[in-house]
Amino acid sequence: MSLADSLLRQLAERVGTPFWVYDGALIRQRIADIKAMTAAPGLQARFAMKACPATKILREMRAAGIWIDAVSGNEALRAVHAGHAVGNNPPVICFTADVFRDNALDVVLKHNLLPNIGSPAMIAQLAAGGYKGPISIRINPGFGHGHVNTCDTGGPSSKHGIWHQDLLAAKFAADRAGFDVVMLHAHIGSGPKIQELHDNLTRLAGEFAALIPQFPQVTAVSLGGGIPHNYRERDKQTDVASLAKLFAHCREVIVKAAGRLIRVEIEPGSYYVAPACTLVTRVHDVKQTRANAKGAGATFAMVDAGFVDLVRPAMYGSYHQIDILGKDPAQGTEPIVVAGPLCESGDVFTRGGADEELHPRQLPRPEIGDLMVLRDAGAYGYAMSSNYNSIGRAPQVWIEPDGSAELISRRESIEDILKPETSAPIAL
C-alpha cells in the first residue's frame, strides 16, 4: 500500500485513531488479477465475503462480475443489499455453511439461494423447511492446509464439509428429498507456499474427476479459495499467470471425466483485500519492564488499537508489517513490543504463533504521538473486530487514486453498543 504519509496524518486528525484505510486502486488491481486467473472459458470467480464484507467492497465485486460466497444469513442479505442478484440460476450468491443458524434457512428459502451444505443433517432441515431447489455439497476431501494448523479447512481435524467417505450417503439422502445435486465443493485452504496450492488443487481436481461420473446432474465444481497473500515478503506475491494455467488445467481434467461442460469456480477471500487496507494507530506511551528471575524485560509501545480491531496476531500469531510514519529504519532500530489498550494480556500485535511468546519487532524508537501503521490488514481485519471492553468499532475510510477520501463506516458509539440491550419479558 503506497498511500502518502501526509494523507494518513490528515485522516488521523479528521477521523481520529485508530482507523482503517482502504486503497481502492489496489483492491481493483487484485480483482483484475482474479479476473485474469479465471479468464479461460468455464471459469467463475467468487468473493468469500467473510474476509471483508463492507458494502463498498461488495459493490466493487458486483461491478466486476465477481459472484459471492456467503456463510451466514446476514452475509447473504448484505450481498443482496449491495445489489447482487438472488436466485440459483445462476447462483450469484451461494450460501455455504455447516449449520443453519439464526435467519440462514429463511434467507435461503426467501431468496431461493443455492445452499452449499457442509453437514448431512442439513438435507433433512432443508426439506422440512419446504425448500424445493437444487443443492451443492461441500466435501471434506481428507486433506488441506491452512497458514497455521488451526486454520486447516480439510482433513480429520477440520469441522468443515461432509467427509469424503460419507458423500454417497449424502447424495442418496438428497435424492430421497428430491434435491438435485448441481455442485460439488471443497476448500483446502492456503498453505504458506504457492507450490502447496498447486499440488493440492491438482490433487483435488483429480478427486473431483473420480467423483463426478456418480453425479450426473452436477453442472459446477468449486475448488474453493486459498490463493495466498505473502504477508512477510510483500514484494513477492502470487504468479497470476501460473494460476490461470492451473485453473484451466483443473477444469479440463474435470470436464473430461464428466463428459460434459462443467463450470469450475474459485472463491478467494484474502487475496482480494489483504494488501489494500492499513490499520492506523497512535502511540500513547513507551514504557519498559526489566529482567528478573521470570524473564527478560521489554520495551512496549502502547498504541490505541487492540485486538478489538485486529485480532489475527492474538488469535493465531499472524504477522503484519509495522511501520512508524516519518521514521526510517535505516537510521537505527531497537526491539519493540507493540501492545494495545485492552484489559487483556494477549493484546499484543508482536506475538509469536504456537509458542505464544513476545516477538519484539526491530523498529525505530517510537515516541508519544507517533502514528504507527499495521499493513496488509484488509482480510479478517475489520470483519473480525469486536466490542470487547465496550469499545466501538473503528471507522473505515476509502481512498481513490485522485486522493479523495470517503468514510464508508463511522466509529461506533456507546449508543450503538447498547442498542441491542433490552428488558423484554419472555412468555413461557
CA–CA dist 307, 343 (Å, integer): 11
Task: Determine the Cα–Cα distance for residues 103 and 98; give it in Å rounded to an integer.
Answer: 14
Residues 275, 25: contact at Cβ < 8 Å?
no
CA–chain centroid gap for 354, Å, is: 21
Please provide the DSSP assignment of 61-85 as one string.
HHHTT-EEEE-SHHHHHHHHHTT--
> 234: how many CB neighbours lie within 10 A of its CB?
14
Alpha-carbon span 338 to 374, nearest angstrom: 10
SS3 content of the chain, % helix, strand, coil (to 5): 35, 20, 45
Catalytic one of 52, 94, 277, 343: 343
Q: Are 201 and 246 in contact (CB under 8 A)?
A: yes
C-beta separation of 42 from 264 below 8 A: yes
376 φ/ψ sector (left φ>0, alpha ψ -120 to 50, else beta): left
Residue written as grid cell 467463475: 44
Contact 135, 126 (CB under 8 A): yes
Q: Is 343 a catalytic residue?
A: yes
Q: How far apart are CA 120 and CA 135, in angstroms?
A: 12
CB-neighbour burial class of residue 22 (10 A; exposed 0-12, middle 13-18, buried 19+): buried
Cell numbers standing for residue 231: 504477508
Q: Which residue has the cell 491452512?
A: 146
- Measure the CA–CA gap between 131 and 115, rounded to whole angstroms: 10
Q: How far apart are CA 263 and CA 46, in angstroms?
A: 12
Are β-strands 322-324 and 371-374 bridged in parallel, bridged antiparallel, or unpaired?
antiparallel
Cis ω before 90 (30° cut-off from 0):
yes
Tell me how far apart the alpha carbons of residues 243 and 245 are, in angstroms, rounded to a whole number: 5
Active site residues per annotation: 343
